[in-house]
Structure 1
Amino acid sequence: MTGPLLAVDPTSGSSLLATFGALAVLVVVFAESGLLVVGFFLPGDTLLLPAGVLCAAGTGPGPHLSLWQVMVCAAVGAVAGAQLGFLLGRHGGRAALAHTGNPRLRSAAARGDALLRRYGYRKAIVLGRFVPLVRTVLSPVAGMLGVPTRTFTVWQIVGGVLWSQSLVLAGFWLGGAVPGIDHYLWALVGAVVVLSLLPLLLRGHGRSGDR
């Protein structure tokens, strides 16, 4: 058992799903939804969509997952991870951020801060779920900024459920509508990465244009 576990790539959604199934969805989404440093490098979007595809896969080779298990694991991981990230941010998040030397992490935290201030708590908490990198730091940043616990909890549940379930169901639909798509998960993951980074790229282009 040690050999296969050591061969698992924790940054690869396909590798994690093949080895751990729905449990990978729970653990990765939990970490990616609010745990600074650790969750920052884990796949989120690139895990949920392929997981949905594998739920709809036929009887061919490869892992096959249960839709209800994946949906429950995705929702629980998204909600619990964000809530823990919020609590950690409120009780020591600034110190953790000050000690990190990762420029991408600092940049993502700044974007999360700007998102909360620009759009208000409720809208930013929901929209932030759909933006890579920001998704991981938004909960701790909300804790640092003193967002009311009730407000954060209600809207992070709304955003977490919308994000996680929509991606799983989109993958499930693709898996049923496109025969054999489970054989092209690498291409699908690549497309998800490009689409998920598009908001950040467009935002960066808009800033450079403003100058």
Structure 2
Amino acid sequence: MYLLTESWLKNAVLPAILIIVFIETGLLFPILPGDSLLFTGGLLAAQENPPVNIWILVPAVTFVAFAGDQTAYWIGRGIGPKIFHKEDTRFFKKHYITETHAFFEKHGPKTIILARFVPIVRTFMPVLAGVSKMDYRTFVAFDIIGAILWGGGITVLGYFLGNVAFIRDHVEAIFLLIVFVSILPGIIAVAKKLLNRGAEPTRPEAELTAATNEPTR
């Protein structure tokens, strides 16, 4: 907390939050900690020597969240179906698109608002809106509401909770907990991959044993 509120790093807090929000919402990069980042920004703004003013942070985050979605929408309009043929990479999986499409089909236009609060879906929702050539005025109207509720709402929530005595007195522990929760999905994914790797060598052995035990005809 000293580094983020007293050292030169406090000048990087606002730019860092805005850049990460834009990358997650506008540049198809789904694994960044959007919700926890906004909450932490509000938490920091509530400290005694805040690295960022809440009256600057809330409108700035809301605007960048809106701008990110607009960028992703026009990416979808521009490259269209090519996205569906994109090969899997470390940060992009085809099932992200199919899951977002199913979410979109289920909830319709209100998906633009709801998706803001769903990791990964919020990254690809505006792209799919662009691919499907959703009416732009409808998209903008819902997107403004979503940006305010998500970008502004979660930040303000962190700010007011940051003024609660218990949270203010244990802010370092809570900050570390937020960081841990943010990286927990990655830890789980890596653990599953390692467990699957450990199980793979046993499969041929099981098949060999089954073949050996099979009665001859």
**Alignment-derived partner of residue 41 in structure 1:** 31
2:99 to 106, 111, 133: 111
Q: Does the alignment pair 1:165 with 2:152? A: yes
CA shift in 2, pair 1:55/1:95, >3 Å: same
Measured against aligned partners, the alpha-carbon deviations of 1:97-144 in whole angstroms (never above 9, x if no partner) come to 4223138632221121112211111x1111011000111011101111
Q: Which amino acid aligns with 1:44?
A: G
TM-score by length of structure 2 reads 0.72
Query: Would you say how many aligned residue pairs link Structure 1 and Structure 2?
Result: 173
* Counterpart Cα distance in 1 of 2:95 and 2:157: 30
Contact conserved, 2:30 with 2:119, CA < 8 A, in 1? Answer: no
* Counterpart Cα distance in 2 of 1:109 and 1:19: 36
Higher alpha-carbon deviation: 96-105 or 67-76: 96-105
Higher alpha-carbon deviation: 96-105 or 72-81: 96-105
Structure 1 unaligned spans of 5+: 1-16, 196-211
Contact conserved, 1:25 with 1:77, CA < 8 A, in 2? Answer: no
* Counterpart Cα distance in 2 of 1:179 and 1:42: 25
Contact conserved, 1:45 with 1:193, CA < 8 A, in 2? Answer: no
CA shift in 2, pair 1:69/1:93, >3 Å: farther
CA shift in 2, pair 1:93/1:20, >3 Å: farther
1:93 Cα deviation after fit: 3.9
| Higher Cα Rg, which structure | 2
SS of residue matched to 1:21: helix
* Identity level (%): 30
CA shift in 2, pair 1:194/1:168, >3 Å: farther
- Structure-to-structure mapping, 1:121-200, within 5 angstroms: 121=109, 123-177=110-164, 178-184=167-173, 185-191=175-181
- Structure-to-structure mapping, 1:11-26, within 5 angstroms: 20-26=12-18
SS of residue matched to 1:25: helix
* Counterpart Cα distance in 1 of 2:160 and 2:126: 30
Q: Which amino acid aligns with 2:155?
A: V
Cα RMSD of the aligned pairs, angstroms, is 2.2
Structure 2 unaligned spans of 5+: 1-8, 186-217
Contact conserved, 1:50 with 1:189, CA < 8 A, in 2? Answer: no
* Counterpart Cα distance in 1 of 2:51 and 2:11: 11
Q: Which amino acid aligns with 2:169?
A: G
Contact conserved, 1:111 with 1:134, CA < 8 A, in 2? Answer: yes
* Counterpart Cα distance in 1 of 2:170 and 2:74: 40
1:21 Cα deviation after fit: 1.4
CA shift in 2, pair 1:193/1:68, >3 Å: farther
Q: Which amino acid aligns with 1:52?
A: G
1:189 Cα deviation after fit: 3.5
